[in-house]
């Protein structure tokens, strides 16, 4: 055994940290149930969609329809990625193995991206299967724009969750804030006349909804503006403050 | 080598750690002893980069913890055995550590054997673990990457006496192979069993430090004979001041000298030992009572 440290040793590569983060998201019952329930809800909602008129049985709509329930669950998934280390106090172990905290944050962001992509791919597979079995006369409408928008919506939902998680570092608080805060802001901007004008620019749910219109089409310039502005409010700002917090927090 | 230099940590006006300095040398087990709330854990968290100090520095092998590449393979850390995801299986915790450090999966099995966790126990979720099992799992995690330095916060907490002796053997072997160990405890007897060097901390300040033998050296001898009067005169004849204590005497000379005085006078001594009066134990008790937080209950109960 040498008694001095080996400072020339290679550091833990980022991809390995990403792999560990992905593994941590499925190695507990809580994590497995969450991902499992996203899958189950997607399938159930698509089966329910089969009850609607057959011309609506297109791949795009099979992807878009379950989003109403999928997006909050993706948010919870994002929250757990960011908060479980703190609520379960494993941050002490994580940061003593990878003391450069920004690397763990980057790994969690990449893991969130990967998990969202897997969920979206799964939705697409279920949609393709159902469209093939019980599809409309022309089920294979795959406008890349609409698909991209649905994928973008999923990503924004996940990362809004990660942002709230990083900001609050506490699972229950982050989930409550994640679900309630947009509703509160929506009510306030709706009730107070002077705020009506900014309503469209700060309301997360209204800004997101065009991504999932019943008849999906490309967003207009103004809708893009609303989406970008609402994303800054609900995702970029919490994210920035949250990252600062994690980098500076005392881990106990 | 761990080097802590003029370290200070303030929390909103409260000084948790007050300008402390010490080093831990390779080949030794250093015990960090102090009552609860003395600043032990804060110091250990600063050493491992989890808490930012207000002033001063802490380094391992000459660099700050943040600059150690793949630190898990060089510095084994156990700061709180209960800080684990309650829903994760024991062996999964080790597997995650091994994966992060880039170790073969076989290390997990080796470490489980080393700390005597059975296959069944390893498959259970942490929420079903006793504190002793969590400590064993934490030790296994700290040793996973074959480090040369160990930083352990209250590792003997929750271990039974046999477990404490097991840990002493484990850390002794580790140090004898050139490793550096820093561990904390709020119990003097644990530190007495395990450590070579002792640092005593109270209210954020170091109040004593040095080799264990030196700090624990008795201040005299207690001895007892069946014939107390004969012993008293024998000691007097040898010019040794004797103070009656319990049913024997306390003298301010080493046991050998006192025994010789009794033997010269032909007095049969039935008990003789180094007296623990004064010294570290008293100082530690003093520290503990100074920082005692709980008043005795007034209205019965517990």
Q: How far is A236 from chain B (nearest CA, A)?
A: 26
- Cross-chain Cβ contact A16/B102 below 8 Å: yes
Mean pLDDT of B152-180: 94
Confidence of residue B221 (pLDDT cuts 50, 70, 90): confident
pLDDT at B276: 61
Q: So what's the pLDDT on residue B299? A: 54
User: A11: which chain B residues are within 8 Å (Cβ-Cβ)?
Assistant: 69-70
Q: Token match 């995801």: residue?
A: B85
SS3 B248: strand
- Which residues in chain B are contacts of A4 at CB distance < 8 A? 1, 61-62, 148
pLDDT at B77: 98
| Residues of chain B positioned with their CB less than 8 A from the CB of A102 | none
Question: Any idea where the domains of chain B sit in the sequence?
Answer: 2-215, 219-277
Q: Give the confidence band of B245 by pLDDT, cuts at 50, 70, 90.
A: confident
Confidence (pLDDT) at B222: 87
Contact criterion met (CB < 8 Å) for A5 and B48 = no
Distance from CA of B250 to the nearest CA of A (A): 45
What is the average pLDDT score of chain A? 90
To the nearest whole percent, how much of chain A has pLDDT over 90? 61
Q: Which residue of A has its CA nearest to B126?
A: A28
> Do B219-277 and B2-215 have the same topology in CATH?
no
Mean pLDDT, chain B, integer? 90
Instruction: Please give the average per-residue pLDDT across A178-205, as a whole number.
Output: 87
Q: Tell me if A96 and B48 make a contact (CB, 8 A cut-off).
A: yes
Question: Which of A2, A92, A247 to mutate against chain B (most B CBs within 10 Å)?
Answer: A92
Lowest mean pLDDT among A52-66, A114-128, B25-39, B85-99: A52-66
CA R_g for chain A: 20
Nearest-Cα distance to chain B for A171, in Å, is: 13
Record: contact A250-B51, CB cut-off 8 A:
yes
Structure token pair of residue A143: 């406008």
> Would you state the pLDDT for residue B293?
55
Whether residue B2 contacts residue B32, with contact meaning beta carbons closer than 8 Å, is answered with no
CB contact under 8 A, A97 and B1: no
Q: Which residue on chain B is closest to A5 by alpha carbon?
A: B61
Give the pLDDT mean for B76-101.
Answer: 96
- pLDDT at B302 > cutoff 50: no
Q: Report the residue from B50, B61, B96 with minimal CB separation from A92.
A: B50
- Tell me which residue of B82, B102, B78 sits closest to B155, measured CA to CA: B78
Mean pLDDT of B10-30: 95
The listed CATH number (3.40.50.300, 3.30.420.40, 3.40.1350.10, 3.30.360.10) that belongs to domain B2-215: 3.40.50.300
- Please determine, for residue A104, whether its predicted confidence score (pLDDT) is greater than 90: yes
- A252 burial class (0-12, 13-18, 19+ CB within 10 angstroms)? middle
Asked whether the beta carbons of residue A96 and residue B102 sit closer than 8 angstroms, the reply is: no
Q: Is the pLDDT of residue B295 over 60?
A: no
Cβ-nearest to B69 among A9, A90, A252: A9
Three-state SS for B139?
A: helix
- DSSP structural state of residue A236: I
Closest residue to B85, CB basis, from A2, A84, A98? A84
Question: Hey, what long-range contacts does B250-258 have (CB within 8 A, 24 or more apart)?
Answer: B250/B220, B250/B221, B250/B222, B250/B275, B250/B277, B251/B220, B251/B221, B251/B223, B252/B219, B252/B220, B253/B220, B253/B221, B254/B221, B255/B221, B255/B223, B257/B221, B258/B221, B258/B223
Q: Region B225-233: what's the mean pLDDT?
A: 90
Mean of pLDDT values over A69-92: 93
Instruction: Report the residue of chain A nearest B49, measured CA to CA.
Output: A99
Contact residues, chain A to chain B, C-beta under 8 Å: 1-12, 16-17, 19-20, 23-24, 27-30, 84, 88-90, 92-93, 95-100, 248, 250-252
Cα B205 to the chain's mean position, in Å? Answer: 17
Work out the pLDDT band at B279, boundaries 50, 70, 90: low
Q: What is the mean pLDDT of residues A38-42?
A: 94
pLDDT of residue A246: 95
Contact residues on chain B for A18, CB-CB shorter than 8 A: none
Closest-CA distance of chain B to residue A97, Å: 5
Straight-line distance from the first to the last Cα atom of chain A, in angstroms, rounded to the nearest whole number: 31
User: In the prediction, which pLDDT does A118 show?
Assistant: 96
What share of chain A has pLDDT > 70, as a percent? 97
CA distance A187 to A252: 38
The nearest alpha carbon in chain A to B174 belongs to A1
Query: How confident is the model over A49-62, as a mean pLDDT?
Result: 87
Residue of chain A with shortest Cα separation from B144: A97
- Say if residue A145's pLDDT is above 70: yes
Nearest CA in chain A to B51: A250
Q: Domain locations in chain A?
A: 14-248
Q: Does domain B219-277 have CATH number 3.30.70?
A: yes
Kindly report the pTM of this predicted structure.
0.86
Average pLDDT (A89-94) is 95
Calpha distance A123→A63 (Å, rounded): 6
CB contact under 8 A, B100 and A97: yes
């Amino acid at each position: 055994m040498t008694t001095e440290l080996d400072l020339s040793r290679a550091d833990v590569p980022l991809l390995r940290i990403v792999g560990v983060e992905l593994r941590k998201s499925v190695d507990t019952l809580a994590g497995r149930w969450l991902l499992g329930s996203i899958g189950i809800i997607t399938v159930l909602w698509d089966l329910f969609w089969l009850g609607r008129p057959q011309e609506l049985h297109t791949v795009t709509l099979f992807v878009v329809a379950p989003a109403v329930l999928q997006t909050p669950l993706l948010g919870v998934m994002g929250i757990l990625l960011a908060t479980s280390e703190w609520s379960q106090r494993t941050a002490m172990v994580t940061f003593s193995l990878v003391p450069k905290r920004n690397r763990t944050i980057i790994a969690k962001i990449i893991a969130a991206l990967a998990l969202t992509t897997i969920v979206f791919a799964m939705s697409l597979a279920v949609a393709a299967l159902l469209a093939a079995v019980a599809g409309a006369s022309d089920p294979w409408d795959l406008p890349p724009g609409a698909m991209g928008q649905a994928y973008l919506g999923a990503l924004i939902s996940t990362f809004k969750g990660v942002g709230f998680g990083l900001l609050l570092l506490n699972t229950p608080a982050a989930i409550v804030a994640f679900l309630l805060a947009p509703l509160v802001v929506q009510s306030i901007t709706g009730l107070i006349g002077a705020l009506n004008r900014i309503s469209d620019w700060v309301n997360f749910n209204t800004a997101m909804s065009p991504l999932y219109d019943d008849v999906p089409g490309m967003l207009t310039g103004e809708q893009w503006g609303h989406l970008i502005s609402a994303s800054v409010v609900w995702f970029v700002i919490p994210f920035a403050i949250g990252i600062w917090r994690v980098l500076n927090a005392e881990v106990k | 080598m761990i080097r802590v230099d003029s370290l200070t940590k303030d929390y909103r006006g409260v000084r948790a750690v007050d300008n402390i300095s010490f080093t831990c040398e390779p080949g030794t087990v250093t015990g960090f002893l102090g009552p609860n709330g003395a600043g032990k854990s804060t110091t250990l968290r600063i050493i491992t980069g989890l808490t930012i100090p207000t002033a001063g520095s802490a380094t391992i092998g000459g660099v700050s913890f943040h600059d150690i590449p793949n630190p898990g393979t060089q510095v084994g850390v156990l700061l709180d055995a209960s800080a684990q995801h309650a829903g994760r299986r024991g062996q999964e915790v080790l597997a995650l550590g091994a994966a992060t450090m880039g170790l073969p999966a076989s290390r997990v099995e080796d470490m489980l054997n080393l700390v005597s966790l059975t296959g069944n126990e390893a498959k259970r979720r942490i929420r079903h673990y006793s504190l002793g099992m969590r400590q064993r799992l934490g030790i296994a995690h700290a040793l996973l990457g074959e480090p040369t330095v160990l930083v352990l916060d209250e590792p003997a907490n929750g271990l039974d006496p046999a477990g404490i002796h097991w840990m002493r053997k484990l850390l002794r072997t580790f140090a004898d192979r050139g490793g550096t160990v820093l561990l904390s405890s709020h119990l003097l007897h644990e530190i007495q069993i395990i450590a070579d060097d002792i640092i005593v901390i109270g209210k954020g300040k170091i109040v004593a430090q040095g080799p264990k033998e030196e700090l624990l050296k008795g201040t005299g001898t207690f001895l007892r004979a069946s014939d107390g009067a004969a012993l008293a005169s024998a000691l007097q004849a040898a010019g040794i001041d004797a103070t009656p204590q319990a049913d024997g005497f306390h003298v301010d000379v080493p046991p050998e000298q006192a025994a010789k005085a009794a033997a010269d006078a032909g007095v049969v001594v039935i008990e003789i030992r180094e007296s623990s009066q004064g010294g570290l134990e008293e100082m530690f008790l003093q520290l503990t009572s100074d920082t005692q937080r709980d008043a005795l209950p007034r209205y019965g109960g517990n």
